[in-house]
Amino acid sequence: MVTRQDEVTQGEFNPWLRVVSLIESAGKLLGLDPDLVQRIVAPERVLEVSIPVRMDNGGVQMFTGWRIQHDTARGPGKGGIRFHQTVNEDEIAALSGDMSIKCAVVNIPYGGAKGGVRVDPTKLSRAELERLTRRYAFSIAPIIGADRDIPAPDINTDTQIMSWIMDTVSMLRGYNTPGVVTGKPLSIGGTLGHAGATSLGVTICTTALLRHLNRPADLESVIIQGYGKVGAPLVKFLTERGIRVVGVADVRGAIHVPEGIDAAKLAEHFAATGTVMGFAGATEVPSEDFFTIPSTIAIPAALGGVIDAHVAETMSANIIIEAANGPTTGEGAEVLNRRGIIAVPDVLANAGGVVASYFEWAQDIQGYMWETDLFMQRLEKTMNDAFEHVWKRHQELQVPLRETAIAVGVERIAEATEVRGLFP
């Protein structure tokens, strides 16, 4: 993991150093003891594992995986597992730190963790993917569990991956362990309402911000970068609340429909073609120009680090809602602040997913499934309460929403750390 001493030689965006900087800045803003801040910064546990996988051709290929537990002062670690060819330790460490803050911001009893495997899953057969998943689950099994660390889906992982992990851990322990992961199918302890929860949380934060700014929803225009598990439901949710979605991007390019995109028709088109490109009535836009599309709200819902200084300088929107994890670089955030662009940070905006995971975990422990209406009511209340608290602190601290949300999370982690003391 890159350290603070390495920062001057780091030639490109490093997400871990970005998280360290945010936590340290929050500590200064809150007047916390520097020693306490360093306790919060340092990950509690970093596990790197080698994953040998028997390939379909009979050979063995090696992969590398991680599970990092950043802070568990407030409860068990919580965070997704991603399978991607660019995954590295710094990325996983940064995401685990984000999870610590995110869980504290929405005030659920979790700490932060994250996992990943450096692999391109599109190049694996289903059988190879299962063997990879089960061997990775076997390797991290000693440090995960319903009372220790609860993984969930992330990029390129889904309900099937979670099922294989849950089954592997259950076989190792000799009893059923539904609470070891969240994001599972209903048949093995999943929950009603989990699908689309992150997108709903983003929508709730968007409408809450507009309410505080006295901006009518029907006068807003939104662009969404990413049309996957988060971006696709967002088009529907925002449209249902009267907000016009005028642009969408996926890995193949971007489209612009000034009068607004029909969510159902776009979903139908994507199901048939696998891309938003070629959507009837849309103008195609180069991916590098996506954020210049005329709009009032921009929602990055893809990978991290996409809002750099150049993008922040040229974007059309005056509000950003961060649906992706870590989409804005430090330089990008500085430009947004200078331009007066309001950013609802990822640790608040996309926390609907972890809130839903918390609900699933609670139901697994209780052995009782909630009705969908109850699930949705509690999700909306939790997200609204979190936004209102951050907004109140924003007015008190007189700093941008990003710094405010980080401060709220760090403040709650610091309180738990101090109350628990230092052992031995």
Contacts (Cβ under 8 Å, ≥6 apart) of 326: 15, 18, 19, 94, 95, 98, 304, 305, 346
Same fold, 45-179 and 197-349: yes
Per-residue pLDDT, 121: 97
Q: Where are the alpha helices (DSSP H) in 106-173?
A: 126-140, 159-173
Longest dimension (CA), the chain: 66
Question: Of the residues 28, 114, 123, 229, which is catalytic?
Answer: 114
Q: Which long-range contacts (CB under 8 A, 24 or more apart) does 264-271 make?
A: 264/236, 266/227, 266/235, 267/232, 267/235, 267/236, 270/227, 270/232
pLDDT classification of 236: cutoffs 50, 70, 90: very high
185-189, 291-295, 323-327, 348-352: which has the minimum mean pLDDT?
A: 323-327
- Among 78, 63, 137, which residue's Cα sits nearest to residue 108? 78
Q: Is the pLDDT of residue 69 over 90?
A: yes
What's the CA dihedral at 302, 156, 370, 383 to 10 degrees?
A: -20
CATH code: domain 197-349 is: 3.40.50.720
Residue in the block written with tokens 């990950």: 43
Q: How far apart are CA 317 and CA 231, in angstroms?
A: 17
Per-residue pLDDT, 2: 64
Burial class (CB in 10 A: 0-12, 13-18, 19+), 403: buried
357 in Cβ contact with 334 (< 8 Å): no
298 in Cβ contact with 336 (< 8 Å): no
Per-residue pLDDT, 6: 55
Contacts (Cβ under 8 Å, ≥6 apart) of 53: 60, 61, 62, 63, 128, 131, 132, 135
Amino acid (one-letter) located at 416 = A
Task: Render 157-179 in DSSP notation, one character per residue.
Answer: --HHHHHHHHHHHHHHHTS--GG
pLDDT classification of 79: cutoffs 50, 70, 90: very high
Q: Is the pLDDT of residue 338 over 70?
A: yes
Q: Is the pLDDT of residue 248 over 60?
A: yes
Amino acid (one-letter) located at 254 = A
Strand order in the sheet with 149-153: 45-54, 60-71, 112-118, 77-84, 149-153
pLDDT in tens, 177-219: 999 999 999 999 999 888 789 999 999 999 999 999 999 999 9
Hey, where are the domains in the chain? Answer: 45-179, 197-349
CA angle 123/126/128 to nearest 5° reads 70
Q: How far is CA 122 from the centre of its chain?
A: 22
Domain 45-179 has CATH 3.40.920.10: no
Percent of the chain with pLDDT over 90: 92
Q: Tell me what the mean pLDDT of segment 120-144 comes to.
A: 98
CA distances (Å), origin 81, targets 15, 116, 178, 246, 275: 17, 5, 17, 32, 25
Strands (E), 361-411: none
Per-residue pLDDT, 207: 97
Q: Inter-axis angle of helices 401-420 and 15-30, to 10 degrees?
A: 80
pLDDT classification of 326: cutoffs 50, 70, 90: confident
Amino acid (one-letter) located at 205 = C
pLDDT in tens, 250-274: 999 999 999 999 999 999 999 999 9
Q: Is the pLDDT of residue 225 over 70?
A: yes
Contacts (Cβ under 8 Å, ≥6 apart) of 356: 182, 191, 193, 194, 197, 198, 375, 379
Q: Tell me what the mean pLDDT of segment 12-24 comes to.
A: 88
- Provide the 10 A C-beta neighbour count for residue 395: 9
Mean pLDDT value across the chain = 95
Q: How far apart are CA 195 and CA 12, in angstroms?
A: 34
Percent of the chain with pLDDT over 70: 97
Does residue 114 have an active-site annotation?
yes
Strand order in the sheet with 253-256: 283-285, 253-256, 244-250, 221-225, 297-300, 319-321, 342-344
Q: Tell me what the mean pLDDT of segment 15-38 comes to.
A: 95
